[in-house]
């Protein structure tokens, strides 16, 4: 029996100590990485936000729009947030709303796609007018006869479901000026 005991070697205490330390480091690292990961995700999340998706806002009731198809100007006033800062309600821009035959509503951003000037409405015959470079736009937002703008007025999305309920909700956003492509900013 003594010979059998001599043949069995006792486990190396250094090896056991190393394994215990390695397990402690791995477990501790795992435990610490969870709150650090959550903190980093919270810190970076505003930067991954949509940003260019626009802001959905109620502008009018369908019954408030002229039945003759003339556009009506509405100010867009809303709170907004940029990365980590939340700004109080303030004017962000304006929109022309126009009710078409059949009840459909179209919306146009009032910023001229040429240089960002504010576009006004003259009459149903003359359409929209930008005083900066004397550009004209037709009632459907397309470029008129005299127009230096690279594209027509920028249309905005109107919520069809809310329209059926009698309310005009628009996804407001601004677009880059001076380029042919309609690109949200």
Residue 109 CB coordination number (10 Å):
23
pLDDT-based confidence at 142, cuts 50/70/90?
very high
Query: What's the mean pLDDT when you consider all of the chain?
Result: 87
Lowest mean pLDDT among 30-39, 126-135, 166-175: 30-39
CA 61 to chain centre: 24
Average pLDDT over residues 48-58: 71
Q: Which residues contact 42 (CB under 8 A, 6 or more apart)?
A: none
Neighbours of 56 (CB within 10 A): 13
Instruction: Please determine, for residue 177, whether its predicted confidence score (pLDDT) is greater than 80.
Output: yes
Which has the higher per-residue pLDDT, 151 or 84? 151
Cα–Cα dist 75/118, whole Å:
12
Checking if the pLDDT of 8 tops 70, the result is no
Sequence length of the chain is 185
Mean per-residue pLDDT, 151-165: 96
pLDDT above 90: residue 58? yes
pTM of the model: 0.69
Confidence check: pLDDT of 155 > 90? yes
Q: What is the pLDDT of residue 49?
A: 52
| Residue 149 burial by Cβ neighbours in a 10 Å radius (0-12, 13-18, 19+) | buried
pLDDT value at residue 167: 96
- Using the predicted structure, report yes or no on whether residue 63 has a pLDDT greater than 80: yes
**Block residue for tokens 């505003």:** 46
Report the pLDDT value the prediction gives residue 3, as an integer from 0 to 100. 53
Higher-confidence residue of 50 and 61: namely 61
Half-sphere exposure of 67 (CA within 13 A, CB side): 1
Please give the residue that has the higher pLDDT: either 96 or 51: 96
Residue 185 — pLDDT band, cuts 50, 70, 90?
Answer: confident
């Amino acid at each position: 029996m003594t010979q059998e005991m001599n043949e069995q070697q006792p486990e190396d205490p250094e090896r056991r100590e190393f394994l215990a330390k390695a397990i402690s480091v791995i477990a501790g690292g795992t435990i610490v990485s969870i709150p650090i990961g959550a903190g980093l995700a919270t810190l970076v999340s505003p930067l991954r936000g949509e940003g260019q998706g626009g802001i959905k806002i109620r502008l009018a009731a369908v019954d408030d729009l002229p039945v003759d198809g003339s556009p009506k100007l509405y100010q867009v006033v809303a709170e907004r947030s940029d990365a980590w800062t939340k700004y109080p309600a303030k004017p962000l821009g304006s929109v022309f709303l126009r009710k078409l035959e059949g009840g459909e509503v179209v919306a146009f951003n009032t910023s001229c796609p040429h240089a960002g000037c504010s576009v006004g409405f003259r009459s149903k015959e003359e359409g929209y007018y930008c005083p900066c470079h004397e550009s004209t736009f037709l009632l459907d937002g397309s470029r008129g006869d005299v127009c230096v703008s690279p594209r027509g007025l920028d249309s905005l999305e109107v919520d069809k479901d809310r329209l059926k309920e009698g309310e005009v909700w628009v996804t407001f956003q601004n677009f880059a000026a001076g380029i042919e492509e309609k690109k949200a900013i």
